[in-house]
Structure 1
Amino acid sequence: MRTVKDAWMMVQSEYRGNKLKLVWASLFSIFYMGYIAFFVGIMMNEIVQSNEGHMAVDIMLLSITPLMGFVLNRSAFKYWSEDSYTRMLVYFKSLPIPATVILCKRKIMSVIAFSINGTLCFGLIYAFSKNMRAEMDLGDYIAFTITWIGYGLIVTGLYITFELLFSGKIYLVLTLAVLIVAFGVAFLVQMGGGNLFLYTILCSQEWGLLSPLMWGTLLVGMASVQVFSKWTIHRLKSRDLL
């Protein structure tokens, strides 16, 4: 509990002294999630109407959903040019702040980011897509949303490891590799005659909030974050930050 308390104090202190930073991060999240929701909502609307799966929406969901676990601030966009995550880690360790607290802070930030960005993006998609509203009631759509958030958590475990164990340039390469894998998965599913988006809808419609797929992705997602966090803590002991 001490670790969680210290991590939460770090989260609060990051924005308490800089209200403008919080305002800009919030406004950018609204704009960015709204932009994504508008275009993804259009694709989903057409697919639900035709009931014919398209690889593009699978690629969007597989690649964008994990990014909802990031707080969209300057550090998130400067990691390649300024290696901002490594610099932040050097600063934290110089205070010194234990690696367990640093990891706990990152997990808390992910939960906050998924809660805000996920609600914004999937909420706006539901608002923009009249065919989604006609096809799924609110309870089914919540199950659909949580299913994809669970998947996002699975990949977030990887991103946390990339963020804290590698330099900005290597992090970029690894992130691109994840996106290529997402494209490959969507392609293979399409070639097999399936569609992840439509399958998720069917599971959510059939089971609602009792969906085995929803609970499965959520549990695996939480396990992924914990496993990768423990491994990251172990590896941080030997990482050269210079």
Structure 2
Amino acid sequence: MTTLKHAWVIVRSEFHGDRLKLLWALLFSMVFMGYFSAITGMVIDDTLTGSTVRMLSDVLMITMILMLSISFSRRTMKYLSEDSYTRMLAYMRALPVPVEVILCKRKLNALFAIALNGTLYFSLIYWLSPGIRSELPVPAYLAFTFTWVGFSLLVSGLYIVIEFSVSGKAYFWSMAIIMILAIGATGLVYLAGGNMMLASAAVSKEWGLGSPLMWGALVLGLVSLQLFSKWTIHRLKSRDLV
């Protein structure tokens, strides 16, 4: 509890010290999520009506889920050119702050990003997509949303390990590989005659907020986040930041 309290104090002080950081993240998320939620909504509507773009709906959903836990800040935008993650980590390590607090702070940032981006993305999809509204009442759509949020939590733990373990360029290529593998998986599902978006929507519609898929994804996401965090602590203690 003390670790969480100290991490929250650091996060809160960062936002108080740079309110433009919060405003930038909010504005960028609104534009980015608004654009892709409009595209995703149209594609999902076509998929629900039996069109031939089923794989595209999975590609869009997977791509966006992989990006939900990313905070659109100056540090994020400059991680490739300035290796801003490593510089931030070196700064934090120079302070009398335990590695557990540094990691907890990073997890809070990830949860904040998922909450902000996920709320914008899924709310706008539901608002802009009459097909989704007709197929999924609010409880079912909430189950659908939290199912995909669980998958985002699953990936965010992996992001944290990579971010704290390698340089900015290596982080970029790692993210690219993860994206390619994820999209490749959607292709295999499509070739097998399946569709992850339709499957999750069907389970959500049938079970509502009691969906076993939703609860399984959330539990798996939270457990994986904790397991990846323990691995990250070992990496933090041994990584050379020079």
- What is the TM-score when the length of structure 2 is the normalising length? 0.97
The residue that corresponds to 2:191 in the other structure is 191
Structure 1, 222-231 or 47-56: larger mean CA deviation: 47-56
Map 1:1-242 → 2, pairs under 5 A = 1-50=1-50, 54-242=54-242
Q: CA deviation at 1:29?
A: 1.1
Which amino acid counterpart does residue 5 of structure 1 have in structure 2? K
Q: CA deviation at 1:51?
A: 6.3
CA deviation map 1:191-240 (0-9, x unaligned) = 10000010011000111111111011110000111000100101111111
Q: CA deviation at 1:63?
A: 2.1
Which amino acid counterpart does residue 2 of structure 2 have in structure 1? R
CA deviation map 1:142-174 (0-9, x unaligned) = 000000000011111100111111100110111
- Name the SS for the 2:164 alignment partner: helix
Q: Is the 8 A contact 1:70 1:114 kept in 2?
A: yes
Q: CA deviation at 1:89?
A: 0.1
Which amino acid counterpart does residue 59 of structure 1 have in structure 2? V
- Inter-partner Cα distance in structure 1 for 2:147 and 2:136: 14
Which amino acid counterpart does residue 120 of structure 1 have in structure 2? L
Which amino acid counterpart does residue 2 of structure 1 have in structure 2? T
CA RMSD in angstroms, aligned pairs only? 1.1
- Inter-partner Cα distance in structure 2 for 1:82 and 1:113: 22
- Inter-partner Cα distance in structure 2 for 1:65 and 1:190: 18
- Inter-partner Cα distance in structure 2 for 1:88 and 1:32: 25
Gaps of 5+ in 1: none
Instruction: Give the number of equivalent residue pairs.
Output: 242
Gaps of 5+ in 2: none
Q: Is the 8 A contact 1:53 1:198 kept in 2?
A: no
- Inter-partner Cα distance in structure 2 for 1:223 and 1:153: 9
Q: Is the 8 A contact 2:21 2:74 kept in 1?
A: no
- Name the SS for the 2:198 alignment partner: helix
- Inter-partner Cα distance in structure 2 for 1:153 and 1:66: 9
Q: CA deviation at 1:96?
A: 2.6
